[in-house]
Chains A and B, each alone.
Chain A
Amino acid sequence: MQKQLLDSSDIKRIIRRMAHEIVEKNKGIENICLVGIQKGGVILAKRLASQIESIENARIEVGALDITFYRDDLNTKVEQPVVKKTDIPCTINNKTVVLVDDVLFTGRSIRAAMDALIDFGRPAYIQLAVLIDRGHRELPIRADYAGKNIPTSFHDRVEVSLDEKGKKDKVSLVNVP
């Protein structure tokens, strides 16, 4: 059973609010870099960046991070890994890196992303921005910026679809009995 939780105007408002929070917490955008986690976080990072740019009237760096090689489930996953592009456009040494992902669940992707990121340098801070926090953490990780908290049961699936323009944005909850 599939239930739509958010539509494109909900998501637009959430992204706008998160952009303001990021700017507020960091007192501007100097020394900040947004890094989206492949695959779902990359478009969200771009959307946040363009929102932040229109608030602050300045450029912000956006990158993409593939965490496939840092995952801890190579031997236990059913499907085989598919590698995506990593593109860190700037040096991250002494910067504030905001990791961006669509859904925060067990926290294992974020653990992998932090390991991957640290191989590129030594950020001053790593913050975490997610569109949906669905609970069920298996590691001591929390989001600095969460778009929406959604209570789920462990076997449910949260499906997020975002596009660059924001026309067909949607978040749904799929119940898996």
Chain B
Amino acid sequence: MIQSKDLLGIKELSPEEIYHILDTASGFRDVLSRDIKKVPPLRGKTVVNLFFEPSTRTRISFELAAKRLSADVINFSVATSSVTKGETLKDTALTIKALGADFLVIRHSSAGVPHFLSRLLDVSIINAGDGSNEHPTQALLDLFTVLSSKKKIKGLVVAIIGDISHSRVARSCIYGFTKLGAHVRLICPPTLMPPDITNLGIEVFHNMEEGLKKADVIMTLRLQLERQSKGFLPSLEEYFYLYGLTQERMKLAKDDVIVMHPGPMNRGVEIESDVADGPHSVILDQVTNGLAVRMAVLYLLAGVKK
């Protein structure tokens, strides 16, 4: 079923593989609701979290997922490592391999780093975000969250709002939702739209009122605040005025719409507080589901023949 020893991106997965991961995740979701939230399948395995970019929630989620599977975890963050002493990526990776790691969870600001490492090492590589390319476990947890609350993905209208061009979450979600048969709409300012993206079989809107109409799922992306200083946006206030998700705008979507956000949120920039905390929000479910999905990924990759 799962063909590769690595999870590099959603682009590389078939719909069957995606469903297999989601089914397995639902088993782990049950485990997480028990008194004893730990199971033994990764006993004796070592997971290394190698993060070249700051991250709290993804790293903690992977760390906890590995621990719930009884693996040992080493966190390797760049600020405190020998990378600051000038070590190359390749040497860092080979060192980690020599320590006997079985999994390498990597986040890096350059697209393609996980792919490079996967050719170099026989350990399982899991992409935890590479530049503006992909963030596959985020998309898997989004798919899982939608599937849990809507019971299906095919045919749903999924609106993704925000900075599409710099968002690896958006890219992974576009692959994931289109592969499973959802209709994906992107809503964003023209300056934050990558030029080639309509090739992926989606609709693009620059207007919230049109884009949100009859949506089943709304996903707001985090606006990376430094974008404003780079001239992509006139001001954050204007962004909120044009693209902020407000209760008023929510009325355009279906009555049972769900609202998602990959976090961390900028309240009052991309999303209104009342929406983030409102009855349609599944933002905290996403966090719990993220744990289950990452457990599923680690567990299934451990079973792939190398």
Contacts and interface: CB of A to CB of B under 8 A. Distances in A.
A68 B303 contact: no
Given A74-B302, A119-B34, A83 B26 contact: yes
Residue among B1, B20, B34, B40 with the most chain A CB within 10 A? B40
B39 A119 contact: yes
A80 B17 CA distance: 11
Interface residues of A, number: 19
Q: What DSSP secondary structure best describes chain A's contact surface?
A: loop
Nearest to B306: A75
Nearest to A82: B23
Interface in B7-28: 20, 23-24, 26-28
Contact of A75 (B2, B20, B303): B303
Contact of A83 (B23, B34, B35, B40): B23
A115 B43 CA distance: 14
Interface string B290-302: 0000000001101
A120 interface: yes
B300 A80 contact: yes
Contacts of B40: 69-70, 115
Nearest to B27: A83
Given A74-B41, A75-B303, A81-B303, A68 B36 contact: no
A98 B85 CA distance: 60
A96 to B, nearest CB: 20
B70 to A, nearest CB: 10
Contacts of A119: 34, 36, 38-39
Given A80-B303, A119-B34, A70 B23 contact: no
A85 B39 CA distance: 15
A115 B31 CA distance: 14
22 contacts: A66-B27, A68-B27, A69-B299, A70-B41, A71-B41, A74-B41, A74-B303, A75-B303, A77-B303, A79-B1, A80-B2, A80-B20, A81-B24, A81-B299, A83-B23, A85-B30, A86-B27, A86-B30, A115-B40, A119-B36, A120-B34, A120-B36
Interface of B: 1-2, 20, 23-24, 26-28, 30-31, 34-36, 38-41, 299-300, 302-304
Interface of A: 66, 68-71, 74-75, 77, 79-86, 115, 119-120
